[in-house]
């Protein structure tokens, strides 16, 4: 069900599997991802997506490509964890004609909650969702900007399983393959737009997933 995404031709048009409409050539999205060495700590190579977010064509193309594998999957809800997950989660939900369910840290949601506590390297953390956010059997797609070690997204999946959701898969803009996050999300369908093979410095990005939610 998981596995590597197939290579794509960036000059080829995109065909919507539902409407059969053809969109223009894909943008070279990787050229909009800025590499910042030694941020936020020495040894970390940070992938900065703010140039992509600031460019309307690149942002639109990113959302289109994150949505494309799931256009014909009957997705009813998109689940996204704070903070950058909300950016792409909302846009992908609109593209799929689905609703959005926010997954948040403790103290952020006001109604009755489902909670899932998970282990960090030094202690535990917790994610929460409203009890009426997802009905049992609803088809849910998890969306985030980055798959690194997979700790936060794995916790999201366990929380959705607790809600008895039918998890359609996970969609990411960036996948740092060297960090092994995809294996933690098995057996779900994992799709990503940009895959980085990585180098030794990227191993330090695991620091980001020792905290709940993606770092900004």
Please write the tens of the pLDDT for every residue from 19-77. Answer: 344 445 567 999 999 999 999 888 888 999 999 999 999 999 999 999 999 999 999 99
Which residues carry out catalysis? 84, 121
The pLDDT value recorded for residue 206 is 41
Q: Which residues of the chain have pLDDT under 50?
A: 1-23, 200-216
The pLDDT value recorded for residue 66 is 98
The pLDDT value recorded for residue 22 is 43
Helices (H) and strands (E) in the chain, counts: 5, 11
Global pTM reads: 0.80
DSSP per residue, 88-117: HHHHHHHHHT-EEEEEB-TTS--S-EEEEE
Domains of the chain: 15-210 (3.40.50.2020)
The H or E element that residue 86 is part of is helix 84-96
* Cα–Cα–Cα angle for 100, 149, 157, rounded to 5 degrees: 35
The pLDDT value recorded for residue 25 is 56
Strand (E) positions, the chain? 13-15, 22-25, 34-37, 45-48, 77-81, 99-103, 113-120, 123-130, 139-147, 166-176, 190-196
């Amino acid at each position: 069900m998981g596995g590597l995404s197939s290579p794509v031709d960036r000059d080829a048009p995109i065909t919507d599997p539902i409407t059969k409409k053809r969109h223009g050539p894909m943008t070279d999205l990787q050229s909009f991802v800025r590499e910042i060495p030694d941020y936020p700590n020495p040894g970390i190579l940070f992938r900065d997506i703010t140039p992509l977010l600031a460019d309307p064509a690149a942002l639109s193309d990113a959302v289109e490509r994150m949505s494309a594998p799931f256009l014909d999957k009957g997705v009813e809800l998109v689940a996204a964890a704070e903070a950058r997950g909300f950016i792409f989660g909302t846009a992908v939900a609109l593209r799929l004609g689905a609703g959005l369910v926010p997954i948040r840290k403790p103290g952020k949601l006001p109604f009755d909650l489902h909670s899932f506590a998970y282990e960090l390297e030094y202690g535990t953390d917790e994610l929460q969702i409203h009890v009426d956010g997802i009905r049992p059997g609803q088809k849910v797609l998890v969306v985030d900007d980055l798959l690194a070690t997979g700790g936060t997204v794995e916790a999201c999946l366990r929380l959705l399983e607790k809600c008895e959701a039918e998890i359609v898969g996970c969609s990411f803009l960036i996948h740092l393959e060297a960090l092994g996050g995809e294996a933690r999300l098995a057996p779900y369908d994992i799709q990503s737009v940009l895959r980085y093979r990585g180098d030794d410095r990227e191993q330090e990005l695991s620091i980001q997933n020792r905290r709940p939610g993606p770092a900004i």
